[in-house]
Amino acid sequence: MNDDLDLEYFKKRLENRLADIVAGQAAKKGESPVELDQARVGRLSRMDAMQQQAMIQAAARLTELERQRIEVALKRIRSGEYGYCVICEEEIAEGRLRFDPSVPACISCAQKAEAK
């Protein structure tokens, strides 16, 4: 395990963000979908509603992916693997983890993965 990292700091940040995401997802479950009844609204209003609906769905997918990354990072903290790249197994720079504690890869491996 990377002994230089303040694991409690990262664990607390991850847990707080996870709690925010779960609370947000629970609040959104009660929301009703956008009304697309053609008799009630005009064509442009329907198009706008559809666009808003697509944007909401995309944001929900991104939030779900973030939740999954956080859960994996918390498991890695518990197993003693946190702070190491899942690809090359080298240490992830502390500055990178402070920016986003859920990142699973070092900057070199992340750049290589993006280039593909």
Walk me through the domains of the chain, giving residue ranges and CATH numbers: 7-115 (1.20.120.910)
- Cβ neighbors of 17 (< 8 A, separation 6 or more) are 66, 70, 101, 102
Residue with the two structure tokens 């070092």: 106
- Cβ neighbors of 28 (< 8 A, separation 6 or more) are 60
Ramachandran assignment for 33, one of left (phi > 0), alpha (psi -120 to 50 degrees), beta (any other): beta
What is the CB neighbour count within 10 angstroms for residue 85? 17
pLDDT tens over the chain, length 116 residues: 566 789 999 999 999 999 999 998 888 776 655 555 555 556 667 788 889 889 989 999 999 999 999 999 999 999 999 999 999 999 999 999 999 999 999 999 999 998 87
Whether this model's pTM surpasses 0.75: yes
